[in-house]
Structure 1
Amino acid sequence: MSFSDNKLTVGSPAELVTAVPYLLGFRPDDGSIVVVASRQRRIVFAARADLPAPSAPASQLLHLADHLVSVVQRQQPITDVMIVGYGDAGHVDPALHLLDEALTTGGMTCRDLVRVSGTRIFNLTCDDPACCLPEGTPFDPTTSLVAVRATAAGLVALPDRAAVATRFAPVDGAARDRMRAATARALTRLGPVRAAGSRAIDKAGVQAVRDALRQHDGGKLLTDDEVAWLTLLLQHIAVRDRAVELTQPHDGHVTFWAEVTRRAEEPLVAAPAAVLAVTAWRCGDGALAGMAADRALEVDPECRLADLMLQALQAGVPPTVFDQATPTDPGTE
C-alpha cells in the first residue's frame, strides 16, 4: 500500500511494530513478513507477504525476496526500508536476513530488521542488551503514540485479515429477500431502457451512479430498489468505468461500494466489487482492494478490471498512477 500523504512517522522498532497493523488494515498472522518503505522517516509504502513453509524449497524464499525487492524499488524515491517478520525464530529469522541481503544488493538501506512473537519484539540489527533484550523486548501497542496518531489519521487496525472481508460480506436473511425482490423489479424497469439502445443505458447508468454517490455523501442510505437499479446498470462496462472515474478516493466512498457489493445479488457482484477494489487501492488499502478483486473474479472470472487490479497490487504499482492516467471529469459532482 502506498501513502502519498505520509501519514505516519516511526522512530523505533516498537513504534514500527505498532504502526504495521494500521498500515495494512489488520494485524498480520504468524508466518507473515512485512516490508515498510520510508522517505525521511515518514512511511510511504507497506507490503505484506506469506512466508513459504519451513519445509518449502529454498527457491521459494529466494523468489519471494526477489519479488519484494522489485516491488519496493518501484516506490522510489525512498531513503530506507524496515522489515518486520511474525512468528518463531526458526521460521522467520532466515527470511529476514535473506531479504535484508537482497535489499542491500538492490541498493537499498535496511534500517530495522525486527521479528514479533506474541507481545515481544526481537531486534535482529541490535545486540545491545541495554536496549534490546535477548529474550525479546515487551511492548504494548495500546500505549503508543503511534496508535493515537494512526487513529487520528483515520487508519483502522482490524484483528486479522479475515475481518477485512466482512466489510463486503453478502447480506442474508430478510435483507437478501428484499434485494432479490428489488432486483426483479429493476429488471422489469430496465426493459424499456435496454430497448432504447446502449446510449440510453449508459446515460441512465451514469445518472444512477451520480445520484447514488450524492445521496451517500449526504448521509442517506440507498433503498433496495436504488441499489438493485444501480447494480444492474453497472453490468455495462461503460457504466462501471464511469463509476470508477466518478468515485473519489476517500473512506466514505470505500464504505459506499462495500455496501453496494454486500447488497448486490450474487450474479451482479463482480462490477461493484471491482469498483470497490479500485477505490480501496486508491485509498491505500491494499488488503481490501485485493480481497474485493478476488471476490469480483470469483463471480466473473472474465472481469478485466479486477484482474488488472490484482496485477497492479502484485507489482506494487502506486495508486498515483490512477490520477495521472485519468482525465479530470468536468461533470463530476
Structure 2
Amino acid sequence: MTSDDHSTAPGPPAPLTLRLRTPDDLLATVPVVLGFEPRDSLVLLSFGADGRAQPDGSAGRGATGPHLRIGLPGPDDPPAALAEVVEAAVAPCRRHGVASVAAVVYTADPRLGAAAAARVEASCAAAGITVLALLRADGRRWYDAGDAAGGEGGAAPYRNESHPVRAAAVLHGRVVLGSREELADLLAPADEEVRGPLAAAVARRGSPLPGPAESRWVGDTVTRAACTGAPLGVEEAARLVVAVRLGRHRDAAWAGVGRAEASRHVDLWLDLVRRAPDGWRAGPAALAALTAWLDGSGALAWCAVDVCLEEEPGHPLGVLVRDFLEAAAPPSWWEEVTAALGDPA
C-alpha cells in the first residue's frame, strides 16, 4: 500500500488556479496536482481546510486542504485492507478540518470501485465532510463510482491530454508523467559513466570539512546553482554531496529556501541524487524531498523520502519530511518550523 500525501497547490512564482465544474475537469486536475497519472488508487482532493474557506468549485491556493493518493488493495490483500486505505485517505482530511472532498477511485474493477466509494461516503459522513463528487475511472472512461455492475451505458470517455487544464499546467511549467513509477525514475541512479567520476571524487574527499566556513560555502554554492540551473561540476558536486552528510552543512543547504525558490532547488538535488554514489545518496535525497514538499510536489517528495530512508533509515531530515507527508502538512508549516529552529548558519 503506497500513499502520496500532496499538500496544497504550489505557491509563487507561478500559482495555478483550477476550477472544477465537471467530472472531466476533476479527472484532468488530479494528475496535474499529483504530477502523474494515477492507477489502482484512491484520490481525494479536499477543500475548505480548518474552516478557512467554503467549497466554491475552486482548487486554487487558499481554498484547498491536503490532496491525497493512496494505492488500492490488491487481490491478495486481506479484506480489512480496503477499510485501512480509506481511513488513511480520510484521516488527514478529518485532522485538518476539511469541509468537502472530491474523490476518484482509479480501478477497472467496478465492484472494488463501488466498495471503496461506499466506505468513502460513510467515513466522510461520519466526519461531517461533504462529498462533492465520487467517480470511478479506468484510464479511458469514468463511471458513477457506486455502480458495482460497471455498465458501459453509464460510462463517459475522457481524455486528459487534450483538456484545457493540461494546457494550463504546461504554461505554468507543470510536468505530468505517465505513472508514479516514472516519477520515481527521476531519482534513479544515472549511468556509470555519469556516476563514476563523482564516485571517485567523493572517495578522494572521504569526509566533510568541519567548521562554519564550509557551511557558508554550502549555502553559497546551493544558492548559486539553484539560480543558474546549471549542473555542478564533478569536484563541486562531490564536495557538496560529502558536506551534506554533516547536519550543520545540510542545514545550511536549506536555510533561506522558501516556497518561491523551492522548484529551482528540487532540480539541483534530483541531479545530485542521480549522480551520487551508493552510500552517499541519503543527504541529497532528503534535501530533494524537503524542496519537493515545499514546491507542493508531495508524490515526488515521497519518492525522495523512500530513497533517503532506504539508504539511511534514521536520517533526521528524511524522517522529518516523512512525518510532514504522513500528516499531510501544508508547505506553509515550514515557516513555523524554521522560525522555531532559528537560523542554522
TM-score by length of 1: 0.87
Instruction: Please tell me whether the aligned partners of residues 270 and 295 of structure 1 are also in contact (alpha carbons under 8 angstroms).
Output: yes
2:177 corresponds, among 158, 169, 172, to 158
1:314 paired to 2:326: yes
1:242 corresponds, among 252, 255, 276, to 252
Which runs of structure 2 are paired with 1:59-208 in the superposition (5 Å)? 59-76=80-97, 78-87=98-107, 88-124=109-145, 134-187=153-206, 193=209, 198=210, 200=211, 202-208=212-218
More helix by share: 1
The alpha-carbon distance between structure 1 residues 323 and 15, as it changes in their structure 2 partners (threshold 3 A), is same
Larger Rg: 1
Instruction: Please tell me whether the aligned partners of residues 206 and 243 of structure 1 are also in contact (alpha carbons under 8 angstroms).
Output: no
Q: Alignment length, in residue pairs?
A: 317
- 1:85 shift after superposition: 0.6
Looking at structure 1, the residues matched to 253 and 280 of structure 2 have their Cα atoms a distance apart, in angstroms, of 15
After superposition, the C-alpha distances for 1:49-74 in whole angstroms (9 at most, x for unaligned) are 11123464443222222232221123
Give 1:216's aligned residue.
226
1:282 aligned partner, one-letter code: L
Higher relative contact order (CA 8 A, sep 6+): 2
Instruction: Please tell me whether the aligned partners of residues 113 and 145 of structure 2 are also in contact (alpha carbons under 8 angstroms).
Output: no
Looking at structure 2, the residues matched to 121 and 168 of structure 1 have their Cα atoms a distance apart, in angstroms, of 32
Among all aligned residue pairs of Structure 1 and Structure 2, give the percentage whose two residues are the same amino acid: 28
Looking at structure 2, the residues matched to 110 and 54 of structure 1 have their Cα atoms a distance apart, in angstroms, of 27
Query: Secondary structure of 1:309's partner?
Result: helix
The alpha-carbon distance between structure 1 residues 291 and 21, as it changes in their structure 2 partners (threshold 3 A), is same
1:108 aligned partner, one-letter code: I
CA-based RMSD: 2.6
Looking at structure 2, the residues matched to 299 and 248 of structure 1 have their Cα atoms a distance apart, in angstroms, of 27
- 1:331 shift after superposition: 8.5
1:285 corresponds, among 297, 321, 341, to 297
1:26 paired to 2:36: yes
1:3 paired to 2:8: yes
Instruction: Please tell me whether the aligned partners of residues 52 and 60 of structure 1 are also in contact (alpha carbons under 8 angstroms).
Output: yes
Gaps of 5+ in 1: 127-131
